[in-house]
Amino acid sequence: MHEVAPEFCIHVEDIVDPVTKEPVKVEDGAIGETVLTTLDREGLSFIKYATGDVMQLFTKRCPCGYPGPGYRFKVVGRVEDMLIVEGVRVFPIGVKQVISSFIPRLTGAMRIVLFEKPPKIAAPLKIKVEHGFGVEEKELIELKREVEAKVQKNCRVVSEVEFALPESLSRSVWKTSMFEKKYEG
């Protein structure tokens, strides 16, 4: 996305660490929670509003030729969905992108299995995924290795994949949870 009206709202120039709320240095590739400061609202004070959205900021001019400021950003996830695995921040959407890259060998349906209350969890990151239709038992060992290697490369965490049968994970018409909670509380 492009920052299109910086004169009305300080947006991408103000990101904070999602855990400590300390400011994050604005540089290409920086990731942090977006904090808004509205500059053109009548009847409201100039306060900072934490959105709960975690964004990755890009400061280099966009290749599309957009004439505005060089700031662009990508939504990485939500603060409440963030996991910290051995000090590495992991967002379920990043894991989901890895899993989806294996379609049709995987259906794309997945759950991150939590045995402790987030955000801090111990490695390995446990992921339950549906294997694709027609994938044979003997293929699952190699597929598991490939998925775990790609999760480690893309998300920078060690994972442990468990397979489920196609269409065995529940789905929702609205937002399907990416977590399966196995802990109390």
Distance CA 152, CA 159 (A): 7
Name the token pair of 144.
């598991």
Q: Over the Cα atoms of the chain, what is R_g?
A: 19
Tens of pLDDT along the chain (185 residues) come to 666 555 555 555 688 888 888 888 888 888 888 887 766 666 666 677 788 888 888 877 777 877 665 677 888 888 888 899 999 989 998 899 999 999 999 999 999 999 999 889 999 999 999 999 999 999 999 999 999 999 999 999 999 999 999 999 998 877 778 899 999 87
Return the domain boundaries, the chain.
9-79, 83-181
Into which CATH architecture does domain 9-79 fall? Roll (2.30)
Task: Name the CATH topology of 83-181.
Answer: GMP Synthetase; Chain A, domain 3 (3.30.300)
Phi-psi region of 86 (alpha: psi -120 to 50; beta: other; left: phi over 0): left
